[in-house]
């Protein structure tokens, strides 16, 4: 049975990778992307899809209830893949209001619209509301703590993670209160093509190419579990087709790396793959800066549940994924260079001054 998907935030980093994955693997499904095209949304991320018969892009805000209602009805949507979110911790520290508006109010708007749409169509069992969330809702781990599981209590430590935790709770409540077929996924740190330059990996790649300092927070010993975005998309594919409504699935890459080690790996790849670096070796650009406020020390995902219940495991190691990612940024200067706007430079200077 074909699906009619509404993908919110589908011009963003993870969302656009998911849209490419879905259109390639399910060409007979209808895919409608709704994206407000804020600073991290980029229509260029969807290049090549605009001429496909079953693809449609709509610029708009998930908080616009009338627009959401219209799309659900006119496109006969049966599946929402909800990626739209304000997602950068540093920006949430500087301005938390936008995170509450998009992540909490926006998710509520989608849930309420989808609930009424689902009920008006006699509550079909094949409908799905996939809510893509983060491992940051669980808080921070000590070095010897076991990884986050689906039963780990929520303990968000930043305005970003708190707003995502709030949206998770709303999604869970709509399943338990109304029976709406929702599913939540909590993923570890993603990386890969189309990631906005403010995030760690593209930031290091681009700054190296420009001969700029590579800012590393604190002592660089913060640990993250890195998940290649292609693996994340394959996991979400499995969850939509085989996941059980009302359930939560943690998605991780099994790649725990200290930030400083990750940056050093990137420097080695840049030295190898980029022939005309302004500074070589690239590691000479590493600079330690004042630590982020409330910086979580370690994230790690226990992905046993999705492995045992749905049969998904990651296929890309961090070594393989970083090489693919560095190669992509080296060959897509025309994609990232226009993003280094005056607004971005002002934000960058404010964060790393």
Q: Where in the sequence numbering do the catalytic residues fall?
A: 135-136, 160
Rounded-to-integer distance, Cα 28 and Cα 53, Å = 9
Under 8 Å between Cβ of 350 and 296? no
CA of 150: how far to CAs of 109, 178, 281, 304, in Å? 25, 22, 42, 10
- Contact call for residues 154 and 135 (beta carbons, < 8 A): no
Pairing of strands 223-228, 256-258: antiparallel
DSSP 259-280: HHHHHHHHHHHHHHH-TT-SSS
Cα 242 vs. chain centroid, distance in angstroms? 21
Nearest to 78 by CA among 34, 130, 36: 130
- Alpha-helical segments (H) within the chain: 13-25, 65-74, 89-94, 97-99, 107-120, 159-178, 200-210, 229-242, 259-273, 304-310, 318-330, 333-336, 342-352
Element (H, E) at 214: strand 214-217
Closest CA to 248 of 185, 301, 167: 185
In the chain, count H helices and then E strands.
13, 12
d(CA 274, CA 281): 11
């Amino acid at each position: 049975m074909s699906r009619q998907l509404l993908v919110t935030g589908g011009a963003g980093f993870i969302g656009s990778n998911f849209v490419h994955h879905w259109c390639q693997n399910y060409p007979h499904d209808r895919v409608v992307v709704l994206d407000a095209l804020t600073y991290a949304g980029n229509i260029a991320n969807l290049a090549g899809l605009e001429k496909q018969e079953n693809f449609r892009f709509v610029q708009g805000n998930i908080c616009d209830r009338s627009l959401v209602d219209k799309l659900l009805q006119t496109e006969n949507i049966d599946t929402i893949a909800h990626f739209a979110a304000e997602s950068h911790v540093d920006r949430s520290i500087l301005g938390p209001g936008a995170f509450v508006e998009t992540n909490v109010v926006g998710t509520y708007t989608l849930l309420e619209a989808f609930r009424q749409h689902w009920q008006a169509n006699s509550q079909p069992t094949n409908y799905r509301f996939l809510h893509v969330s983060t491992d940051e809702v669980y808080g921070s781990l000590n070095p010897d703590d076991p990884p986050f599981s689906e039963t780990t209590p929520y303990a968000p430590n930043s305005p970003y993670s708190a707003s995502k935790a709030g949206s998770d709770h709303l999604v869970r409540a709509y399943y338990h209160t109304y029976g709406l077929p929702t599913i939540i996924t909590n993923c570890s740190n993603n990386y890969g093509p189309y990631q906005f330059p403010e995030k760690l990996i593209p930031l290091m790649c681009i700054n190296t190419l420009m001969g700029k300092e590579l800012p590393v927070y604190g002592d660089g010993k913060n640990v993250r579990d890195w998940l290649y975005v292609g693996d994340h998309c394959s996991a979400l594919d499995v969850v939509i087709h085989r996941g059980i409504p009302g359930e939560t699935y943690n998605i991780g890459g099994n790649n725990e790396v200290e930030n400083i080690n990750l940056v050093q790996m990137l420097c080695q790849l840049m030295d190898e793959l980029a022939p005309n670096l302004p500074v070589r070796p690239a590691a000479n650009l590493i600079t330690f800066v004042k630590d982020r406020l409330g910086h979580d020390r370690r994230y790690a995902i226990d992905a046993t549940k999705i492995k045992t219940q749905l049969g998904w495991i990651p296929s890309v190691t961090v070594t393989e994924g970083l090489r693919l990612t560095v190669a992509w940024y080296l060959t897509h200067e025309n994609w990232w260079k226009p993003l280094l706007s005056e607004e971005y430079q002002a934000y960058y200077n404010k964060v790393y001054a």
